[in-house]
């Protein structure tokens, strides 16, 4: 390739960057200029054939076609499996305050799920009975009363409601509130590890690159309280075989918890209505002031 041709390629990049000069929103202009520079640098580095570039366009088109308004968000899944979601999360939570670690939001959240009473059972499908409880506190150790914990998890078959049409939409989902002492309690089933959906472009990418599709078992939490930063995180089952190779890179050691075996005569069984053996997990969340 001649020097003149290379110069022409760089001139093209600068011409495109300059086209955004009249963008009124300064942040948008910064984003678009950086996007063009990095995209053009990528193209110059890998020198894709026209057929390869068209394959990339088809991949993104197919990714969009797999998205819907309710529960399937293939672009979030793509972002997750490329580690971009966790990088964005890390950049936006650089402050070290003693608050609970954040992790990815995931593609299976459904808003406006039912309000639940303290200790109410969210499991409408089979599984190993479990109690997950603890407190929501400030970084100073004070309780956060009336914090809303939006909770969701997959069923024993590894699928979320909405994703699995055989499940009631509210299965393994709900919104809990802390009491005056910051306490919460959730009856559920022990989470299981599961593969992310592989029937779309993301699954094709994982297969082509020799990667597995599995996530370690976890329970999703989104915790919100006035005056505090919203916390989006997971609580992972300690000992899960996929903790070291989570397909979306979302595991943090501070977010792991044990599920301890308890008998039907345990005090918690009587308090929360278990009529047989169950598992207990305790996790305390710490919120950062906004």
Q: What is the pLDDT of residues 91-129, one digit of tens each?
A: 998 876 799 999 999 889 999 999 999 999 999 999 999
Please indicate, yes or no, whether residues 171 and 249 belong to a single structural domain of this protein.
yes
What is the pLDDT at residue 3?
52
> Whole-prediction pTM value?
0.90
Domain extent at residue 34: 3-69
Q: Is the pLDDT of residue 35 over 80?
A: yes
Final residue belonging to a domain, choices 69, 95, 114 = 69
Q: How far apart are CA 131 and CA 190, in angstroms?
A: 8
Asked, for residue 76, whether it belongs to a domain, the answer is: no
Asked, for residue 74, whether it belongs to a domain, the answer is: no
Please indicate, yes or no, whether residues 127 and 58 belong to a single structural domain of this protein.
no
What is the pLDDT at residue 4?
60
Q: What percent of the chain has pLDDT over 90?
A: 90
Please indicate, yes or no, whether residues 164 and 129 belong to a single structural domain of this protein.
yes
Least confident of 70-74, 99-103, 232-236, 243-247: 70-74
Burial class (CB in 10 A: 0-12, 13-18, 19+), 171: buried
- Residue 77: count other Cβ atoms within 10 Å of its Cβ: 27
Q: CATH number for the domain including 103?
A: 2.60.130.10
Closest residue by Cα to residue 195 from 264, 127, 241: 241
Please indicate, yes or no, whether residues 63 and 171 belong to a single structural domain of this protein.
no
Final residue belonging to a domain, choices 69, 93, 114 = 69
Instruction: Give the model confidence (pLDDT) of 139-194 as tens digits.
Output: 999 999 999 999 999 999 999 999 999 999 999 999 999 999 999 999 999 999 99
Q: How many domains does the chain fold into?
A: 2
Asked, for residue 78, whether it belongs to a domain, the answer is: no
Strands 183-189 and 194-195: unpaired
Please indicate, yes or no, whether residues 165 and 61 belong to a single structural domain of this protein.
no
Please indicate, yes or no, whether residues 35 and 127 belong to a single structural domain of this protein.
no
- The string over 260-284, giving b where at least 16 C-beta atoms fall within 10 Å of a residue's C-beta and e elsewhere, is eebeeebeebeebebeeebbbbebe
Distances (CA, A) of 245 to 17, 187, 238, 249, 252: 39, 28, 14, 7, 12
Please indicate, yes or no, whether residues 112 and 44 belong to a single structural domain of this protein.
no
What is the pLDDT at residue 96?
61
Mean pLDDT for the stretch of residues 204-230: 97
Please indicate, yes or no, whether residues 65 and 88 belong to a single structural domain of this protein.
no
**Residue that has been written with the tokens 């593609």 in this structure:** 107
What is the pLDDT at residue 288?
93
């Amino acid at each position: 390739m001649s020097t003149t041709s290379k110069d022409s390629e760089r001139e093209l990049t600068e011409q495109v960057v300059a086209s955004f000069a009249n963008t009124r929103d300064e942040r948008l202009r910064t984003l678009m200029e950086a996007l063009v520079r990095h995209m053009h640098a990528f193209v110059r580095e890998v020198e894709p054939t026209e057929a390869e570039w068209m394959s990339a366009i088809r991949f993104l088109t197919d990714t969009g076609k797999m998205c819907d308004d309710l529960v399937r968000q293939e672009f979030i899944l793509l972002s997750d499996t490329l580690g971009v979601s966790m990088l964005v999360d890390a950049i936006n939570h650089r402050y070290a305050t003693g608050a609970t670690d954040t992790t990815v939001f995931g593609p299976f959240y459904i808003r406006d799920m039912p309000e639940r009473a303290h200790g109410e059972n969210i499991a409408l499908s089979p599984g190993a009975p479990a109690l997950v409880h603890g407190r929501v506190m400030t970084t100073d150790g004070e309780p956060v009363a009336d914090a809303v914990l939006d909770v969701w998890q997959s069923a024993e078959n590894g699928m979320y409601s909405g994703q699995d049409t055989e499940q009631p939409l509210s299965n393994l989902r709900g919104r809990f509130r802390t009491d005056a002492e910051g306490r919460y309690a959730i009856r559920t089933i022990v989470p299981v590890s599961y593969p992310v959906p592989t029937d779309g472009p993301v699954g094709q990418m994982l297969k082509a690159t020799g990667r597995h599709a599995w996530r370690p078992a976890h329970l999703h939490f989104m915790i919100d309280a006035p005056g505090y930063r919203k916390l989006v995180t997971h609580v992972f089952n300690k000992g899960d075989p996929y903790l070291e190779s989570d397909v979306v890179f979302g595991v943090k050691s501070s977010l792991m918890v044990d599920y301890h075996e308890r008998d039907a005569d345990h005090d918690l069984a009587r308090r929360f209505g278990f009529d047989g053996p169950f598992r207990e997990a305790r996790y305390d969340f710490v919120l950062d002031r906004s």
